[in-house]
Amino acid sequence: MTELLTKIGTKLQEKFPQAVLSSQMDYDYPVFIVAKDSIHDILAFLQKDGFTYLTTLCGLHFPDNVGEEFGLMYQLHSLERNERIRVKIFMSEKNLEVPTITDLWVASNWMEREAFDFFGFRFKGHPNLKRILNMEEMNYHPLRKEYPLEDGSRHDKEDKYFGR
């Protein structure tokens, strides 16, 4: 799999020399971290290069990474070559606007809506960016790591029953 990292990494470096920030192997996946402002162009390039199937688009939240607290992960699959890669972007909590990729993959419509619903990403150019699973009235994004894991007001839980 490292040869795939080298092969795709070389293509991306040639086409987008300033946009590829780093690359690494995570388990069996080549992962490319790229500049947010180039994400649409990079994904379009990869699609033309044979990565025609968008497997996953999901939000990430790392509250301790100041200035890059939020991220998006795009997982692409080349069905012809049986190759998979991940492309990630990171951004500040102050600017969660990202270009939509619904023009590249129609299936990203619901994935982007889910990332908006649960994390608050705003996909510029999305045809119908509204909550998909939560109520419209919610004024927060529940998958952000801004809330305690447990309700501190509950007294009916005893730690001994939960292995603590």
Distance CA 123, CA 126 (A): 6
What token pair was written down for 83?
Answer: 């190759």
Tens-digit pLDDT profile for residues 18-61? 999 999 999 889 999 999 999 999 999 999 999 999 999 999 99
Give the CA dihedral 58, 59, 62, 66, nearest 10 degrees: 130
Q: Three-state SS for 83?
A: strand
147 falls in which pLDDT band (50, 70, 90)? confident
By CB atoms closer than 10 A (0-12, 13-18, 19+), residue 60 is middle
Rounded Cα–Cα distance for residues 101 and 90 (Å): 16
Say whether 32 sits in a helix, a strand or coil. Answer: strand
Options 3.30.460.80, 1.10.3300.10, 3.30.420.40, 3.30.470.20; CATH of 2-146: 3.30.460.80
* Contact call for residues 91 and 73 (beta carbons, < 8 A): no
pLDDT digits (tens, 9 = 90+) for 63-115: 999 999 999 999 999 999 999 999 999 999 999 999 999 999 999 999 999 99
Domain coordinates in residue numbering, the chain: 2-146
Residues 6+ apart with CB under 8 A from 49: 8, 11, 78
Task: Give the helix/strand (H/E) hosting 23.
Answer: strand 20-26
> Which pLDDT score is estimated for 58?
96
Instruction: Report whether 35 contacts 71 (CB < 8 A).
Output: no
